[in-house]
Structure 1
Amino acid sequence: MNKPLRFALLAGVVLSLCLSQARLHAQNLAMATLPDAPGVSPAGALPGQSTGPDNGQVQDGQQTKRILGIIPNFRAVSANTKLPPQSVKEKFITASQDSFDYSSFVLPSVLAGYSLGVNSVPEFHSGGAAYGRYYWHAFVDQTIENYAVEFIVPAIAHEDTRYYTLGNGGFLKRTKYSLERVVVTRSDSGKPTFNAGEVIGSGAAAGLSNLYYPQSQRTFGNTAQRWGLNIGIDAGTFVFKEFWPDINQAIFHNAK
């Protein structure tokens, strides 16, 4: 059996085993601090609109659909907001938005430029053709990871893929909360649960990438590195989402 197929099968086996265990560990993760569980918004309330007790007053932690008017922020939920359970269709839609939005081509271009600069895959050579190879690999990596993390695994594990802004407390508390979202998320019923979508989904995506990377890149170390990169980028994104409302308020005065 060739190495790409072994890695793909390994990713599938790990995915199946971990999903079966994720539900068993949910209660152990329940001690992690989360905002109130999502519920159905009152009639007339819009997604992201606060439904807290302040009777319509502007709340801290108000998210926008895009960051800086460009970067997709469709999964971020404003602080103190209660929403209905996320449907499988909604998970598919947000994964598609994050994969094919006009701004989704930016990160792969940056990663491709860096990889070209450090010659991370010698088989791609150099020059414009090499940049194209790096770019399509980075774009496919991103797309597979988005669907695995935001749709496929969460649909199986019954997880909510939205980021619920904490919006209160000090910098360290909120940073800790946002980083913890890598391993702790909400179930569709609103309870804390192991984030199988992030941990297992990104690992499975890294394993599947061995099907289209050159032979030299299909080692366990390189696969683990791509897995870590996927999680690291998402962790940084969670932190930025948490503090985006503060940045938006301070600099842009809640620009939409």
Structure 2
Amino acid sequence: MNIRLFMFRLVLCVSVTCAAAAQQISAPEPQTGTVIGTVIDVNDGTVPGANVVLQSSSLPEPKQVTTNDDGFFQITQLKAGISYHITISANGFADWISPEVTLRPGQYLELKGIRLRIAVAVTTVKALSTEEIARGQVEIEEKQRVLGFIPNFYVVYDHNAVPLTPKLKFRLALKTSKDPITILGSAFVAGIDQAAGTPDYEQGAKGYAQRFGANYANGLTDIMVGGAILPSILRQDPRYFYRGTGTTKSRIIYALRTPFVCKGDNGRWQPNYSGLGGYLASGAIANTYYPSSNRGPGLVFSATAIDIAADMANGVIQEFVLRKLTTSAKKQP
């Protein structure tokens, strides 16, 4: 064999081999994927500190992360074309398990609908005796007082609270209306009205008594109609359900919607027909005992607007201030 031909073939083989090796080395790595999500509870509050575990038969060991203060998590560097399952757990909640997830190269997947429900053990306790549990909750609420003396009966701090029976709705309304601080509050407002000369009753002791009676009657009709009668008929819960979780903005929005949205006895959020009906009924009935110069549609709608504004303000104060000042509230979960 000609030595030059041999050398040419040898160089050619080496060149081809090196080119193939170089091509193999320079081949790009396959793109990995990412999975993100936000964990919330049944009340739409975020769940910080939840444990997120991603598993696959192709992984040597599961990948694990924890949600941040906003309930957000992110798992990166996931190979494409592999089936994954994600399990999310948190104290007091039942585990949430995702359907099978398979990523495309470079995919950025956001998991939707991650909503943790109350643990089965808690739900089972509820189902044993709902009425007795509700009665126990009302007994706790009847001891709730701001600074130890101002009634704060219509707020629920227990996220596992059960609905009230009609009897308990009337019990809570009557206790509030008969409380000495409620009566003193009506007397105080009557004094302010007396000084302002509104409504158009006369001055003196008789005028003060009329203003006191009008103020107390307004509150009584509002709480009896909006807090007991309509909630019993429409199966709605008249209480404010303290949220306590989530961003400041989300909690403010939650509090401001109080006059318009309430929780039904079925546990679902719905239009607050009971509360709005109570406001309107209070203003309408006031037309029967207010001075003739103050009567008319304006009285009904102005009283309703004032009640709505007061309810919105109360919701914000309940969410951010009153729990710290309410007796027995700190002991509740």
> Structure 1, residues 89-141: CA drift from partner, whole Å, max 9, x if none?
1110111111111211133123212222221223x122333222111110011
Q: Distance in 1 between matches of 2:290 and 2:142?
A: 37
1:241 shift after superposition: 2.0
Match of residue 115, structure 1, among 193, 196, 206: 193
Letter in 2 for 1:205: S
* Aligned sequence identity (%): 23
1:178 shift after superposition: 1.1
Structure 2, gaps ≥5 residues long: 1-42, 46-116
Q: Distance in 2 between matches of 1:205 and 1:183?
A: 17
TM-score when normalising by structure 2: 0.55
1:106 pairs with 2:196: no
Letter in 2 for 1:154: P
Matches within 5 A, 1:136-151: 136-151=213-228
TM-score when normalising by structure 1: 0.70
1:194 shift after superposition: 0.5
Aligned to 1:21: none
> Structure 1, residues 190-212: CA drift from partner, whole Å, max 9, x if none?
00110011112210121011111
**Cα gap change, 1:241 to 1:169, in 2 (>3 Å):** same
Bigger strand share: 2
Aligned length: 208
Is this contact kept in 2: 1:184–1:193, CA < 8 A? yes
Match of residue 137, structure 2, among 24, 33, 47: 47
Q: Distance in 1 between matches of 2:263 and 2:256?
A: 14
Aligned to 1:182: 259
Letter in 2 for 1:73: N
Rg larger in 1 or in 2? 2
Letter in 1 for 2:179: D
Aligned to 1:135: 212
1:84 pairs with 2:174: no
Is this contact kept in 1: 2:323–2:329, CA < 8 A? no
Bigger helix share: 1
Aligned to 1:243: 320
1:240 shift after superposition: 2.1
> Structure 1, residues 25-60: CA drift from partner, whole Å, max 9, x if none?
xxxxxxxx6567996755898639xxxxxxxxxxxx
> Structure 1, residues 53-103: CA drift from partner, whole Å, max 9, x if none?
xxxxxxxxx997111111212221115x21222110111011111111121
